[in-house]
Structure formats: structure tokens, C-alpha cells
């Protein structure tokens, strides 16, 4: 062997060894980064960033799911309570499947004790077994998220797709073979033919790929689901309490394995993570169209396994949601605490001690024990709306993730509604008042359904969109209607008159404030009884309004209280 040949061999060996070294080093660095991320984010507020599209996609699994329970948290209630922020606080997941299931979980309160306790047990298992939890998180991180698509959306569409013929792709194989054969007869003509054919193959590849790319991404994610299922089975197979998940996932994996075999070319199983080999595989796909050919062959098979895919998504999603809830509980442990709820079908009573809002730093906790409807009075910013949201959010958390932000919480199983943060709907030419009465009507309709769980509802400033006389009259009758049915209603109001009109069927509570040294102080504590103070005019003074306005307003209010009539200005 001459010197030049030896040098070439040495260079090739060095290049190969360098590539291997870089690949191994990158794998180790990636693994170390995963470990750091898992450790850093556990028990803390998730640092996820959402685009409007990616966040919108999260809800699609919930909206596309079959077998949705009779009661869900409707859009009005979800938005009133700021449940998007609650979801983001809990969402310490690493896969689309996990976060989409968690979102669905929070929107579908459960009234079955066994199901809720089983989920609580799952969270306990992952919260106490660090090695198990980290192995699961690695598997879900490998599954990853599909940022630009909702798998459930495209899965529905794929089941109706007709696969295209692969004839043109096979023709490309024949053309490139013929072009290389032409080299033996005419090198110049062969090279020209190869260039033309490769150009056509590349252009047609990207054209076909653009048409099926969202569906291809969906199929690819389904393959990753199956791969993740296999990883999860191996992780949890020897752990007590997880046997049902092992059995069901194993059955699904076995059913789907034959039809998914040989699909690594689509990218789900390569595991090459941006390496040189992965780049070479991309070129192979471009020149051979193997991923498109495999996709066309798999469409019908995916359609046959639609139910299995949804079930696999549910099982894997439930497990990762339990991990996220375990992390949420750890976060609460290091802040203001939490408890598992006590729930009963035999009582409508709600009894909570040390109840607080999970999104508030240094929150003031309150307690309440009621089986009657409740009216809450007090000035603006005193804490009425926040308290209503605190109870409502905890009622949802109790019946979804079996976790409450309270020292103790016991209650019935409820159908939960609110009418709190409404606004004019310009698109429907609908005033605030029309939006409000429409919102209240849906709660009253639910109250008439006596064959299911009682209604727990929250109303902030009943009928604020109309005049005082009609507001009080109509509000009194609506709230009385609620109290006469199987409803536990919490309503906040500025209309002190309602506390007297409804004192036979509503318990009264209030929040209060102090005006001292030209400043207003709120303690955000809940007190029994109706509000006794009226500080709205005093607040005008604190804000620097003219003294003449303050004095005249106070005199008019005093005269009205004495006579029940307004004097002319």
C-alpha cells in the first residue's frame, strides 16, 4: 500500500472516529440537559411558553373526544374563573398527549369516587418514587409535543383519506436506475439524465410532502405514541398499583405492532437526534420517497386503529397528567399546602378550611361551612370576586385532579357554573344585559335537571347591566328560584337590599375595609352577616375628588336612607 493510500485511509478513520465522538458527546450532553431540566422543573411553576396556535391546539383533544361526560366545564365558566392560568400552573408535562389529557381532565369533573381516588393514588405513586417518575418523564420527553397540529384533529381527517398511488414514486426509482445504466453507453448523456431525474425527484418530493405534511406529522406522532407506550410498559411493569395500565398498554401495543412495523423511515424510531446519520437518512427519503410511500400504505391501517390510538392517548395522557399533578402538589407543599377532598353524593354541603386561590402570592385563606345559598356583600376590591373564584376553582380541582388548595375540603359532587366576567358581544349585536341574562338562563336550565348532581353556581353582581329598581326585583326572584331548587348558589352583590329580601333562604357574608389616613386597607377576610359600611364616597375623597362633590354626595345618600326618596339636585 502506497503512502497516499495510507494517508487517505487514516483521514477516513479519523473522520469516522470524530463523528462517533461528536455523536456520543452530544448524546451525553443531551441526556445531562434532560436530567437538569427534570430536576429543575419538578415541584416548581412550569416554564412552558405557548403560542396562540399551540395553546389553541391543546383544547382540541377535549373537543374531539368521544364519550364526554354529561357535565363539562363550559366556556363561560372556564373563562370566568381564569382556568387557562390554572391549567398552565399545573401543566408540568413534556408531551402533547400529557398536556391535552390534562386540559380535558380539568374540563370534565368526575362524580365517581373510585375514579378520583385512583387518580390521587397515581399522583402519590409518582410523587414518592423519584426513580420511577424520572424514567417516565424521560419517555414522555422523547415523545415530545406536536406544536403545529392537534393529533386528534388530523386523526379524524386521516380516517377519511384515500391514499394516493405510489406508481409515480416507483417510476422515479426506475428512471434513476435507467439513468445510471445509461452511463455505460454514454457518460455525458447519463450524467445529464441523472441530473434531470434527480431534479424531478427532489421537486416532486417537496411538492408531495407539502400536501401531506400535517398528516405525515400526525402519523409520525402516532408511531411515537406506540414507541412511548413500549417504553412506559418497560418502566412500570414491576410497580404495584400500575398493573391495569401495563395490561391495557400491552394489549394495544400488540394489536398495533404488526401494522406499524417497518415505519422507522417516517422518523419516529430513528432516534438519531440531528446526527450525521439523521441527515443522511433525510437525503435517502428525498431521493427515494420512502416516507411518502410508507405513509400511503399506512393510511388505511391507521384508520383501522383509530379507537386504539385514542385509548392509547388516554392511558398515556392520564399517567403523565398524574405526574404533573404530583409536581403541582409538591409545589403546593412548599408554599401554602393542599389536601385531598372528601366528596359525597348524600349532601350538598360545602365545608372548607383555609381555602386559598392558587395563583395568588401570599394569599389570605378563608373558611366557610354552608349548605344554604350565600350572598356576599362588600365594596369593590375587597375580595368578593376572588373568593367566589377560589371556591369555584377548588370545586373543579376536587372533582378532576383530586387536589384542593385548602387545609381541608369536604363537599358534594356538583355541576359547576358561573356568570361573572361577561362583556358585550359586538359580533352578535348583543348588549351586556342580554349576554348576562343568557348566561343566567343556562344555569337556571341546569337547575331544573334534578336527575343528576346538584348545581354549584357563582354569580358576580346579578343583573348589573340594568337599572336599580328592575335589577333588585329581578335579581331577588332569580336568586330565590335558585334557592328553591337543588342549587348551592354563591352570589356577590352591591345591592344591600337583596340581603334583606332573601334573608330567609340566603346566608349573608361580607368583606370589609378600613379607611385610615387617606388610604384604604383591605384584609380580605370573610365575615358573617351583611356589610354594614358604605365607603364608596369616602374612596372618592381619597382619590382627590373635589370636597364639594363629596359633601353633596354624602348628604344625598343620607337623605335617601332616611326617606327612601332622592331629592332634586
Q: What are phi and psi of 280, to 5 degrees?
A: -65, -40
Residue 523 located in a structural domain? yes
Radius of gyration of the chain (CA): 32
Which one of 276, 303, 333 terminates a domain?
A: 333
Confidence label for 42 from pLDDT (cuts 50, 70 and 90): very high
Which tens digits make up the pLDDT trace of 204-222? 888 888 887 777 777 888 8
CATH number for 386: 3.40.50.300
Predicted pLDDT of residue 116: 97
Distance, CA of 316 to CA of 249 (rounded, Å): 8
**What's the domain count of the chain?**
2
DSSP-assigned states of every residue in 410-449: EEE--EEEEE-S---BGGGTB-HHHHHHHHHHHHHHHHT-
* 346 shares its domain with 328: no
* 280 shares its domain with 395: no
pTM of the full predicted structure? 0.86
* 277 shares its domain with 255: yes
* 287 shares its domain with 394: no
Distance, CA of 415 to CA of 282 (rounded, Å): 52
CATH number for 238: 1.10.1420
Residue 543 located in a structural domain? no
Residue 32 located in a structural domain? no
Residue 29 located in a structural domain? no
In whole numbers, what is the pLDDT of the chain averaged over residues?
Answer: 85
Confidence label for 268 from pLDDT (cuts 50, 70 and 90): very low
* 470 shares its domain with 505: yes
Residue 118 located in a structural domain? yes
* 491 shares its domain with 473: yes
* 219 shares its domain with 101: yes
Predicted pLDDT of residue 565: 74
Span 455-472, mean pLDDT? 86
* 416 shares its domain with 270: no
Span 225-233, mean pLDDT? 92
* 124 shares its domain with 232: yes
Residue 551 located in a structural domain? no
Q: Which residue has the higher pLDDT, 559 or 229?
A: 229
* 263 shares its domain with 370: no
* 47 shares its domain with 157: yes
Residue 420 located in a structural domain? yes
* 128 shares its domain with 217: yes
Percentage of the residues of the chain whose pLDDT score is greater than 90: 44
Q: Which residue has the higher pLDDT, 331 or 33?
A: 331
Which tens digits make up the pLDDT trace of 333-361? 999 999 999 999 999 999 999 999 999 99
Within 344-431, residue ranges assigned H as helices are: 384-398
Confidence label for 455 from pLDDT (cuts 50, 70 and 90): very high
Give yes or no for a contact between 377 and 510, defined as CB atoms under 8 angstroms apart: yes
Residue 514: give the domain boundaries.
Answer: 342-533
Predicted pLDDT of residue 32: 75
Does the pLDDT value for residue 142 go beyond 50? yes
Residue 208 located in a structural domain? yes
Does the pLDDT value for residue 429 go beyond 70? no
Amino acid at each position: 500500500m502506497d503512502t497516499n493510500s495510507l494517508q487517505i485511509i487514516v483521514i477516513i478513520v479519523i473522520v469516522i472516529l470524530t463523528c462517533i465522538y461528536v455523536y456520543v458527546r452530544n448524546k451525553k450532553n443531551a441526556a445531562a440537559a434532560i436530567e437538569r431540566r427534570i430536576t429543575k422543573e419538578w415541584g416548581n411553576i412550569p416554564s412552558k411558553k405557548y403560542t396562540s396556535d399551540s395553546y389553541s391546539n391543546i383544547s382540541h383533544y377535549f373537543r374531539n373526544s368521544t364519550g364526554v361526560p354529561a357535565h363539562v366545564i363550559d366556556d363561560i365558566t372556564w373563562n370566568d374563573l381564569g382556568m387557562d392560568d390554572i391549567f398552565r400552573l399545573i401543566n408540568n408535562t413534556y408531551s402533547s398527549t400529557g398536556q391535552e389529557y390534562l386540559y380535558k381532565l380539568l374540563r370534565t369533573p368526575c362524580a365517581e369516587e373510585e375514579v378520583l381516588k385512583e387518580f390521587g393514588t397515581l399522583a402519590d405513586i409518582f410523587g414518592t418514587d423519584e426513580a420511577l417518575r424520572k424514567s417516565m418523564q424521560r419517555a414522555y420527553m422523547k415523545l415530545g409535543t406536536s406544536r403545529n397540529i392537534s393529533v386528534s384533529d388530523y386523526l379524524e381527517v386521516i380516517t377519511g383519506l384515500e391514499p394516493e398511488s405510489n406508481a409515480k414514486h416507483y417510476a422515479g426509482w426506475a428512471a434513476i436506475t435507467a439513468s445510471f445504466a445509461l452511463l455505460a453507453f454514454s457518460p455525458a448523456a447519463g450524467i445529464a439524465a441523472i441530473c434531470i431525474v434527480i431534479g424531478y425527484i427532489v421537486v416532486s418530493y417537496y411538492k408531495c410532502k407539502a400536501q401531506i405534511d400535517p398528516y405525515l406529522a400526525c402519523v409520525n406522532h402516532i408511531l411515537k405514541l406506540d414507541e412511548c407506550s413500549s417504553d412506559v410498559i418497560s418502566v412500570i411493569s414491576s410497580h404495584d398499583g400500575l398493573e391495569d395500565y401495563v395490561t391495557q398498554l400491552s394489549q394495544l401495543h400488540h394489536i398495533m405492532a404488526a401494522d406499524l412495523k417497518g415505519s422507522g423511515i417516517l422518523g419516529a424510531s430513528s432516534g438519531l437526534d440531528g446526527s450525521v446519520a439523521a441527515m443522511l437518512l433525510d437525503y435517502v427519503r428525498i431521493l427515494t420517497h420512502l416516507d411518502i410511500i410508507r405513509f400511503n400504505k399506512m393510511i388505511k391501517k391507521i384508520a383501522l386503529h383509530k379507537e386504539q390510538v385514542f385509548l392509547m392517548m388516554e392511558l398515556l395522557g392520564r399517567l403523565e397528567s398524574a405526574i404533573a399533578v404530583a409536581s403541582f402538589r409538591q409545589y403546593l407543599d412548599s408554599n401554602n399546602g393542599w389536601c385531598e377532598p372528601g366528596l359525597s353524593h348524600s349532601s350538598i354541603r360545602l365545608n372548607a378550611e383555609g381555602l386559598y386561590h392558587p395563583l395568588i402570592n401570599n394569599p389570605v385563606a378563608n373558611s366557610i361551612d354552608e349548605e344554604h345559598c350565600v350572598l356576599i356583600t362588600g365594596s369593590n376590591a375587597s375580595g368578593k370576586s376572588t373568593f367566589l373564584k377560589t371556591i369555584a376553582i377548588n370545586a373543579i380541582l376536587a372533582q378532576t385532579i383530586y387536589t384542593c388548595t385548602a387545609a381541608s375540603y369536604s363537599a358534594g359532587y356538583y355541576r359547576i357554573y358561573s356568570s361573572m366576567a361577561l362583556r358585550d358581544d359586538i359580533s352578535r349585536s348583543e348588549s351586556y344585559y342580554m349576554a348576562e341574562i343568557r348566561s343566567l338562563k343556562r344555569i337556571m336550565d341546569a337547575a331544573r335537571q334534578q336527575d343528576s348532581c346538584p348545581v354549584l353556581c357563582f354569580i358576580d353582581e346579578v343583573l348589573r347591566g340594568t337599572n336599580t329598581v328592575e335589577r333588585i326585583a329581578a335579581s331577588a326572584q332569580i336568586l330565590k328560584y335558585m334557592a328553591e331548587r337543588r342549587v348551592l348558589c354563591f352570589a356577590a352583590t352591591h345591592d344591600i337590599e337583596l340581603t334583606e329580601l332573601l334573608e330567609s333562604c340566603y346566608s349573608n357574608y361580607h368583606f370589609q375595609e378600613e379607611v385610615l389616613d387617606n388610604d384604604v386597607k383591605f384584609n380580605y377576610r370573610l365575615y358573617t352577616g351583611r356589610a354594614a359600611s358604605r365607603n364608596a364616597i369616602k374612596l372618592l375623597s381619597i382619590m382627590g375628588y373635589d370636597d364639594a362633590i363629596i359633601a353633596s354626595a354624602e348628604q344625598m345618600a343620607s337623605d335617601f336612607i332616611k326617606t327612601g326618596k332622592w331629592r332634586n339636585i
